[in-house]
């Protein structure tokens, strides 16, 4: 159980962006205002302000500028060179405008590069949804962790109080000669253990509350309340494992982004250098009132021609081909990783279903045992110590049931996110298709 709490805290605690300040709820006069936060409200505050989402939006804008730049590549680059000279009392001026014919010879290459930039822009746009899903899940992880730890801290604190009461009763019984020293030390150890567990739970709770305050931009130390979340009633996930994987390959934005990256890389393999490279220049001579440049302006054309280097281009193609193979293998690893995450979440739901059923049965037994102990205690047939023990057992089982349901909710939401969906409504739409 401890490992679960720590894992959730480390997973979600890295999200520490400063979201806008949340207004406090109405409170009675004389009491401190308490901020009320629902899960949906927390997600709303964080989603659009988180650095990961903002960085991805910047990446989209950069990709759009790259497309614009690729479009402008069809325009010739104009370089103006000038030479000013004097001879026989006159001045001459030479102007050249270079590279006028470059777009003509490189038209196909420029078109392909523009298509590549458009595909990469689509990839960045797809990743916006992925970043938003990751941020939403991070908020859910921390929110549910906080609910679990508040419940755990409360129940362990109550348990520590009952253990203290039980220890005081045992001390009285020991003084009366009903217990030996070894039994007293055993009860004292149990009391100290219960107190230690309660203190550890408080530390975990403070850690999560601090991370939550940082995440939402709440003032440190201000009290806030959390609304309970639905645990999906421990129902069976509506898709089979094979259907989950199928939907993931069709809907998951990270899959779409990786496939778009492969498409762009494959398109780049088709870029060919033109067989002839030419830079042209127009030359103009300006009249300068005599001298060697005297007379009417004259224009000419200068150019240089580069033939296709077959050997070098073949090596470039080979290198690009190896790079594409490397990219596909890297993406294959990514696909395997997200498949493993889906499989893990799917079977974790099944495990939690079984645990919830077992915990429910234990909780019912503990409730019945507590009820009978109360009757026997009223009749004077058992000691107060035994009744406190039954109350502890019932409270722990009841708390354990609530925690299991929250864990189930969290794993359910994680599975929905991993297959590329946002909510149950979107899941129902997929099932209806």
In a 10 Å sphere around its CB, with 0-12 CB exposed, 13-18 middle and 19+ buried, how is residue 179 labelled? middle
The CA distance from 383 to 376, in Å, is 9
Question: pLDDT class for 7, splitting at 50, 70, 90?
Answer: very low
pLDDT (mean) for 131-136: 93
CB atoms within 10 A of CB 70: 18
The CA distance from 162 to 151, in Å, is 17
Helices (H) and strands (E) in the chain, counts: 11, 6
Q: What percent of the chain has pLDDT over 90?
A: 39
DSSP letters, 337-365, are HHHHHHHHHHHHHHHHHHHHHHHHHHHHH
Q: What is the pLDDT of residue 26?
A: 38
What residue spans define the domains of the chain? 237-273+310-433
Q: What is the pLDDT of residue 258?
A: 93
Q: What is the pLDDT of residue 101?
A: 57
Q: Kindly report, residue by residue over 148-178, the tens digit of the pLDDT.
A: 999 999 988 988 998 888 888 888 888 887 7
DSSP letters, 40-58, are HHHHHHHHTT-HHHHHHHH
Could you tell me how many residues make up the chain? 433
The CA distance from 103 to 390, in Å, is 86
Mean pLDDT of the chain: 79
Does residue 314 or residue 361 have the better pLDDT?
A: 361
Phi first, then psi, for residue 48 (nearest 5°) are -90, -10
Question: pLDDT class for 425, splitting at 50, 70, 90?
Answer: confident
Q: Kindly report, residue by residue over 360-414, the tens digit of the pLDDT.
A: 999 999 999 989 988 888 888 887 778 888 888 888 888 899 999 999 999 999 9
Q: What is the pLDDT of residue 15?
A: 37
Asked whether the predicted pLDDT for residue 320 surpasses 90, the reply is no
Question: pLDDT class for 424, splitting at 50, 70, 90?
Answer: low
Ramachandran region of residue 66, left (φ > 0), alpha (ψ -120 to 50) or beta? alpha
Token code pair at residue 421 = 């969906």
- Residue 403: which of 78, 133, 155 has the closest Cα? 155
pLDDT (mean) for 229-242: 82
Q: What is the pLDDT of residue 383?
A: 79
The CA distance from 170 to 95, in Å, is 106
Q: Kindly report, residue by residue over 171-197, the tens digit of the pLDDT.
A: 888 888 777 888 888 888 988 998 999
CATH architecture of 237-273+310-433: Up-down Bundle (1.20)
Does residue 84 or residue 21 have the better pLDDT?
A: 84
CB atoms within 10 A of CB 307: 8
């Amino acid at each position: 159980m401890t490992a679960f709490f720590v894992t959730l805290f480390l997973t979600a605690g890295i999200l520490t962006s400063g979201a806008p300040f949340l207004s406090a709820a109405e409170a009675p006069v004389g009491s401190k205002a308490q901020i009320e936060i629902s899960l949906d409200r927390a997600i709303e505050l964080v989603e659009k302000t988180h650095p990961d989402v903002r960085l991805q939006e910047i990446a989209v804008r950069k990709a759009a500028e790259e497309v614009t730049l690729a479009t402008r590549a069809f325009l010739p680059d104009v370089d103006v060179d000038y030479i000013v000279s004097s001879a026989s009392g006159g001045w001459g001026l030479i102007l050249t405008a270079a590279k006028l014919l470059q777009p003509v010879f490189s038209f196909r290459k420029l078109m392909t590069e523009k298509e590549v930039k458009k595909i990469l822009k689509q990839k960045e746009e797809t990743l916006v949804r992925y970043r938003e899903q990751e941020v939403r899940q991070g908020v859910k992880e921390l929110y549910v962790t906080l609910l679990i730890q508040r419940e755990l801290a409360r129940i362990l604190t109550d348990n520590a109080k009952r253990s203290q009461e039980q220890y005081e009763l045992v001390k009285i019984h020991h003084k009366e000669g009903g217990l030996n020293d070894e039994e007293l030390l055993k009860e004292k150890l149990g009391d100290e253990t219960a107190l230690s567990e309660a203190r550890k739970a408080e530390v975990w709770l403070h850690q999560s509350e601090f991370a939550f305050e940082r995440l939402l931009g709440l003032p440190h130390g201000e009290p806030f309340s959390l609304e309970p979340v639905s645990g999906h009633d421990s129902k069976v996930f509506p898709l089979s494992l094979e259907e989950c994987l199928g939907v993931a390959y069709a809907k998951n934005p990270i899959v779409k982004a990786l496939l778009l990256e492969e498409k762009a890389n494959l398109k780049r393999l088709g870029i060919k250098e033109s067989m002839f490279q030419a830079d042209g220049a127009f030359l103009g001579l300006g009249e300068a009132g005599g001298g060697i440049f005297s007379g009417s302006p004259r224009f000419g054309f200068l150019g240089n021609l580069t033939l296709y280097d077959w050997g070098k281009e073949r090596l470039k193609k080979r290198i690009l081909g190896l790079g594409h193979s490397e990219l596909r293998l890297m993406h294959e690893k990514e696909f395997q990783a997200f498949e493993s995450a889906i499989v893990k979440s799917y079977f974790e739901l099944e495990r939690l279903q079984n645990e919830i059923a077992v915990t429910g049965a234990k909780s019912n037994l503990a409730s019945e045992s507590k009820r009978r102990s109360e009757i026997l205690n009223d009749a004077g047939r058992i000691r107060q110590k035994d009744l406190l023990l039954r109350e502890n057992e019932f409270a722990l089982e009841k708390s354990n049931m609530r925690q299991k349901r929250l864990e189930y909710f969290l794993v359910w939401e994680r599975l929905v996110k991993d297959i590329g969906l946002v909510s149950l409504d979107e899941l129902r739409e997929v099932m209806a298709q």
